[in-house]
């Protein structure tokens, strides 16, 4: 175990946000899901007690009949905001006094940094470069992620869960987003803590070896099946990708219609909403981990080979 | 001020007396001196000072703030509604909406960080030339010679990192509370664009010190643009559509085929002017829509699964009153 190497990475001032994320994301996930569980429990109680459901104020926080429903922004909200700005300002001052922003040598096109890493928030895309060609990892995937995020509210046909934390009423939407968010953070984590010189995979705690040469023979799926000429490689690849979309689509369909409640939500979904959700769920949420797995486990580089592009 | 009133009426009275007497220039001066004497009398000055003790009663205060701040509902509402910085707020909010555990405060903190970044960024611009050779020296100068220069640069960088995190967490909260649902879908889209702009702001700032870190990060980043389908010279169908390193989308981003002086200038303009302006416009829309779409989404009373209306009904109405 090379703790020195791990400390060098973890203590780099520019990596502070990633270390912070490792604590912040679990904390806020816990904070959100704790309230979701409380709300779900309340919903369960009220479902079983119609009389109570009619009179209950339907929040897990205390409530007394003589309390007003609303409070004045001045001072009740403004004091919270004021406090928040003070805390953030103090935090920034402490952070800025204790840690210096990195400054390397002057830029030099003749001296390549190794490893040369993107800013931490784009490390997910850089890590994706291992599994996809630049046109997918750098252009198509980010575009799909942005459009997919923007489409999110339009494909979610579930009318429940507006304005309160819940898990039971919105399992599909919440888990779809959390899965994507988790993957994004995980790729950033890999890019920061695991990728070393030459973008070689070094497990946390192993020493970065600048001379490490990896004799990794990457193979293409069509070649593994003995198909070595075009256009058969392209045809084979299209069939495999098509089969992936069909199977993944079936799996996703089973998952989102698992329970009686989910089926009810599915009934409300229009065909267009359903297809758009399927497309983004397969193309972003599933293709990424699948490509990662077949690369890391089976050393397969391309699935679809054409004269113009490979996937 | 109120203390002026008796003095004024007095001067009028003496004025009319003067006319009766009909005396000339000398009497006039004597009259003015009398007035000044009266104004500088101990009682008068004491009264004026007494009035200054309560700043809210001064004309200056009233001209700035327009309303008194008293713990009355009317005064509290007006305090928010008649203040340009606070008027984005409603006068009253849901009593649970001030709970940190519900909102996490991340949207507001993100906006505050944008203000911090604008402030420190403007100060940094006083010391920075976006030219090759000078840019790096400016950073060294900033770090060693400019008073608080190092603190300024550190704060700009860490606030930028923090802003990326708070934006993500804000988005996470909005998903967990279903706050993107009708009628807030469009505002969610504006938010997604703001997220992208936040990342781009941070990324364009990365190159500006013109050091190895920024140079190679931007090189790696913009090299991906080579692969843009149809628009990059290494992308699918790019070469077939006539793309070369000298006319593709990467060339447009960098202002050249390599990361050099033009790329530095371009990222400087994007970073300091173009993106902040676009982001400000989108922020205005974002905040305005929060209000127009009914304020922040909750914390709302929970809806039961059994209360869900049959398909076709647009939304579930709250049965609780």
Cβ–Cβ contact A61 with B under 8 A: yes
The segment with the largest mean pLDDT, out of B64-78, B102-116, B246-260, is B102-116
Is B102-294 CATH 1.20.810.10? yes
Closest C-alpha among A57, A133, A120, A284 to residue B168:
A120
Q: DSSP state, A192?
A: I
Q: How many residues does chain A have?
A: 311
Q: A203-249 pLDDT, tens per residue? A: 888 888 888 777 778 888 888 888 888 888 899 999 999 999 999 99
pLDDT of B317 higher than 50: no
Residue with the two structure tokens 């928010």: B80
B299 contact partners, CB below 8 Å, separation of at least 6: A59, A61, A163, A164, B94, B96, B97, B99, B102, B177
- Mean pLDDT estimate for chain B: 87
Q: B58-98 pLDDT, tens per residue? A: 888 888 888 877 888 888 888 888 888 888 899 899 888 88
> What is the rounded distance in angstroms from the CA atom of residue B88 to the CA atom of residue B286?
11
CB contact under 8 A, B212 and A107: yes
Tell me how far the alpha carbon of residue B211 is from its chain's centroid: 30
Q: A4-18 pLDDT, tens per residue? A: 888 888 888 888 999
Q: A30-71 pLDDT, tens per residue? A: 999 999 999 999 999 988 888 888 888 888 888 888 888 889
Contact B269, A121 (CB under 8 A): no
CB contact under 8 A, A95 and B203: no
CB contact under 8 A, A134 and B226: yes
Tell me the pLDDT band of B14, cut-offs 50, 70 and 90.
low
Closest C-alpha among B167, B256, B320 to residue A42:
B320
- Please tell me which residue, B222 or B190, carries the higher pLDDT value: B190
Closest C-alpha among A308, A294, A302 to residue A220:
A302
Q: Residue B318: what pLDDT?
A: 43
Which of residues 70 through 109 in chain B touch A, CB cutoff 8 A? 73, 76-77, 79-80, 86, 89-102, 104-105, 108-109
Tell me how far the alpha carbon of residue B25 is from its chain's centroid: 59
Chain B residues with CB-CB distance to A56 below 8 A: 320
- Residue A83: HSE in the Cβ half-sphere, 13 Å Cα cutoff: 10
> What is the rounded distance in angstroms from the CA atom of residue A240 to the CA atom of residue A189?
31
Output A144-147 pairs: Cβ under 8 A, ≥24 positions apart.
A144/A280, A144/A283, A144/A284, A145/A180, A145/A284, A146/B192, A146/B196, A147/A280
- Mean pLDDT estimate for chain A: 90
Q: How far apart are the CA of A17 and the nearest CA of chain B, in angstroms?
A: 7
Cβ–Cβ contact A262 with B under 8 A: no
Dig out the tokens for B262 from the structure: 């033009």
Q: How far apart are the CA of B223 and the nearest CA of chain A, in angstroms?
A: 8
The structural domains of chain B, with segments of one domain joined by +, span 4-53, 61-91, 102-294
Tell me the pLDDT band of B121, cut-offs 50, 70 and 90.
very high
CB contact under 8 A, B299 and A126: no
Cβ–Cβ contact B111 with A under 8 A: no
Closest to B211 (Cβ–Cβ): which among A95, A105, A109?
A105
Beta strands in A45-142 (DSSP E): 70-72
Q: Residue B315: what pLDDT?
A: 46
Closest to B299 (Cβ–Cβ): which among A59, A264, A308?
A59
Q: Residue A148: what pLDDT?
A: 95
Q: Which of A12, A152, A159, A170 should one mutate to test binding to chain B, selecting the residue with the greatest count of B CBs within 10 A?
A: A159
Q: Residue A81: what pLDDT?
A: 94
Cβ–Cβ contact B145 with A under 8 A: no
Q: How many residues does chain B have?
A: 321
Cβ–Cβ contact A36 with B under 8 A: yes
Q: How far apart are the CA of B62 and the nearest CA of chain A, in angstroms?
A: 19
Closest to A160 (Cβ–Cβ): which among B169, B215, B316?
B316
Tell me the pLDDT band of A304, cut-offs 50, 70 and 90.
confident
Cβ–Cβ contact A225 with B under 8 A: no
% of chain A at pLDDT higher than 70 = 100
Dig out the tokens for B175 from the structure: 């998903």
- Please tell me which residue, B23 or B21, carries the higher pLDDT value: B23
Chain A residues with CB-CB distance to B174 below 8 A: none
Tell me how far the alpha carbon of residue A135 is from its chain's centroid: 20
Closest C-alpha among A198, A160, A134 to residue A36:
A160
Q: Residue B1: what pLDDT?
A: 43
CB contact under 8 A, B159 and A92: yes
Q: Which of B176, B295, B313 should one mutate to test binding to chain A, selecting the residue with the greatest count of A CBs within 10 A?
A: B176
Chain B residues with CB-CB distance to A98 below 8 A: none
- Residue B296: HSE in the Cβ half-sphere, 13 Å Cα cutoff: 27
Q: How far apart are the CA of B236 and the nearest CA of chain A, in angstroms?
A: 5
Q: B178-212 pLDDT, tens per residue? A: 999 989 999 999 999 999 999 999 999 999 999 99
Contact B127, B141 (CB under 8 A): yes
CB contact under 8 A, A107 and B77: no
> What is the rounded distance in angstroms from the CA atom of residue A181 to the CA atom of residue A188?
11
A260 contact partners, CB below 8 Å, separation of at least 6: none
Q: Residue B312: what pLDDT?
A: 54
pLDDT of B278 higher than 50: yes
Among A170-174, A228-232, B99-103, which stretch is predicted with the lowest mean pLDDT?
A: A228-232
> What is the rounded distance in angstroms from the CA atom of residue B317 to the CA atom of residue B309?
9
Dig out the tokens for A184 from the structure: 């994004």
Contact B299, B186 (CB under 8 A): no
Contact B188, B174 (CB under 8 A): yes
Closest to A138 (Cβ–Cβ): which among B185, B224, B300?
B224
Tell me the pLDDT band of B146, cut-offs 50, 70 and 90.
very high
């Amino acid at each position: 175990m090379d703790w020195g190497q791990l400390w060098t990475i973890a203590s780099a001032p520019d990596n502070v946000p990633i270390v912070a994320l490792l604590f912040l994301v679990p904390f806020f996930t816990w904070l959100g899901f704790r309230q979701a569980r409380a709300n779900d429990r309340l919903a369960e109680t009220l479902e079983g007690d119609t009389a109570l459901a009619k009179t209950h104020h339907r929040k897990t926080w205390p409530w007394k009949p003589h309390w007003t429903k609303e409070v004045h922004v001045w001072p009740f909200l403004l004091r919270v905001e004021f406090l928040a700005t003070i805390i953030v300002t103090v935090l920034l001052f402490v952070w800025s006094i204790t840690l210096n922003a990195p400054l390397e040598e002057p830029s030099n096109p003749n001296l390549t940094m190794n490893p040369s890493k993107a800013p931490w928030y784009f490390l997910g895309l850089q890590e994706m470069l291992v599994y996809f060609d630049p046109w997918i990892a750098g252009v198509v995937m980010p575009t799909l992620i942005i459009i997919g995020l923007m489409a999110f509210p339009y494909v979610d046909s579930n009318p429940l869960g507006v304005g309160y934390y819940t898990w039971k009423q919105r399992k599909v939407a919440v888990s779809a987003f959390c899965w994507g968010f988790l993957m994004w953070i995980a790729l950033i984590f890999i890019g920061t803590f695991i990728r070393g010189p030459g973008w070689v995979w070094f497990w946390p705690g192993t020493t970065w070896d600048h001379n490490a040469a990896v004799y990794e023979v990457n193979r293409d799926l069509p070649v593994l099946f003995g198909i070595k000429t075009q256009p058969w490689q392209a045809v084979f690849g299209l069939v495999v990708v098509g089969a992936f979309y069909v199977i993944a689509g079936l799996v996703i369909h089973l998952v989102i219609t698992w329970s009686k409640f989910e089926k009810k939500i599915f009934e409300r979904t229009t065909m267009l909403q359903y297809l758009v959700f399927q497309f983004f769920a397969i193309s972003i949420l599933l293709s990424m981990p699948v490509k990662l797995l077949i690369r890391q486990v089976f050393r397969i580089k391309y699935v679809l080979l054409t004269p113009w592009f490979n996937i | 001020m109120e203390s002026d009133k008796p003095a004024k009426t007095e001067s009028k009275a003496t004025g009319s007396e003067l006319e009766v007497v009909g005396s000339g220039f000398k009497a006039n001066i004597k009259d003015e001196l009398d007035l000044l004497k009266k104004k500088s009398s101990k009682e008068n000055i004491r009264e004026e000072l007494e009035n200054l003790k309560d700043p809210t009663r001064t004309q200056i205060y009233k001209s700035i703030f327009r309303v008194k701040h008293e713990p009355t509902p009317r005064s509290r509402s007006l305090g928010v509604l008649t203040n340009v910085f606070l008027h984005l707020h409603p006068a009253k909010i849901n009593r649970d909406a001030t709970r940190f555990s519900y909102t996490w405060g991340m949207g507001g903190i993100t906006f505050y960080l944008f203000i911090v970044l604008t402030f420190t960024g403007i100060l940094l611009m006083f010391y920075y030339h976006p030219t090759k050779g000078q840019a790096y020296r400016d950073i060294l100068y900033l770090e060693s010679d400019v008073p608080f220069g190092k603190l300024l640069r550190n704060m700009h960088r860490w606030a930028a990192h923090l802003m990326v995190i708070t934006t993500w967490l804000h988005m996470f909260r909005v998903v967990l509370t279903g706050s993107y649902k009708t009628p807030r879908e469009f505002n969610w889209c504006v938010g997604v664009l703001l997220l992208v702009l936040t990342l781009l702001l941070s990324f364009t700032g990365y190159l500006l010190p013109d050091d190895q870190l920024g140079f190679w990060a931007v090189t790696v980043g913009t090299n991906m643009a080579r692969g843009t389908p149809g628009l990059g010279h290494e992308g699918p169908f790019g070469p077939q559509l006539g793309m070369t390193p000298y006319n593709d989308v990467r060339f447009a981003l960098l202002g050249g085929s390599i990361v050099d002086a033009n790329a530095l200038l371009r990222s400087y303009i994007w970073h300091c002017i173009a993106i902040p302006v676009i982001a400000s416009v989108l922020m205005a829309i974002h905040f305005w829509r929060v209000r127009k779409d009914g304020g922040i989404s909750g914390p709302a009373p929970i809806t039961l699964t059994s209360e869900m209306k049959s398909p076709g009904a647009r939304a579930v109405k709250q049965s609780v009153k």
